[in-house]
Amino acid sequence: MSFYDTWSAVFIALIAGVILVGTALIGARLLGPFAREQGKSISYECGMLPTGKNWTQVHVRYYLFAIMFLIFDVETIFIFPWAVRFLDLPSHAFWYMVFFVLILSGALFYAWRKKVLEWR
């Protein structure tokens, strides 16, 4: 076994990675226009000067809700395959899913008690 045989895949991956990432990095540098002046970063380059902040303040609670939603939403991914094959599954599969949902409701209970669900 030669050195090349052993490490060829690693080297190919390394070279491919360097080329792919390198072209992206260099391409962005070459193709992208870079003009670092104040005027470039205002909201309307040729229009009226914006007044006030261009960032709308969103209440921090909103993000908490978004994160909570994201997590519970993605957990349903485990329920889909279970639901599709439900009729073919042995009976304890039902109880496993009940247990899973119970854990999720435990988390919801915790969030409720910690007053995360209230919009204060």
Partner 1 sequence: MIPLENYLVLSGILFSLGVYGVLSRRNAVLVLMSVELMLNAVSINFIAFSAYLDVTQITGVIFAIFVVAVAAAEIGLALAIVLRIFRNRSSINIDEAAELKW
Partner 2 sequence: MNPFELISPQLAILIGAGLILVYDAIFPKDNRYLPWMALAAIAVSVSFAISLAVRGEYHVGFEGTYSVDKFSVFFSVVFAGIGAAVVFASMNWVDRVGRRKSEYYALLLTATAGLMFLAGARDLITIFIALELSSIPQYILAGWGKDERSGESGLKYLLLGSIASALLLFGMALLYGLSGSTFVPEIATFIGENASDNRSLLILASTLIIAGFGFKMALVPFQMWVPDVYEGAPTPVAAFLSVGSKAAAFAVVLRIFFEGLNAEILSNDWAMIFAVLAAISMTVGNIFALVQSNIKRMLGYSSVAQAGNFAIGLAAIAVVGQEFTLAASAVLFFVVAYAFTNLAVFIAVIAISRHLESDDINAYEGLAKSAPLLALALGIALISLTGIPPSAGFWAKLYIFNAAAQADLAWLVIVAVLNSVLAAFYYLRIVRLMFRNVEDQIGSAPFAIPKSIGFVLGITVLGVLVFGFFPTPIISVAREAAAIFSIG
What are the residues binding partner 1 (CB under 8 A)? Answer: 16-17, 20-21, 24-25, 28, 60, 63, 66-67, 70-71, 73-75, 77-78, 81
Among 65, 78, 96, 110, binds partner 2 (CB under 8 A): 110
The verdict on 113 binding partner 2 (CB under 8 A) reads yes
Which C-beta is closer to partner 2: that of 10 or that of 77? 10
3-state SS of 67-106? Answer: HHHHHHHHHHHHHHHHHHCHHHCCCHHHHHHHHHHHHHHH
Best CA proximity match to 82, nearest among 69, 95, 73, 70: 95
The verdict on 7 binding partner 2 (CB under 8 A) reads yes
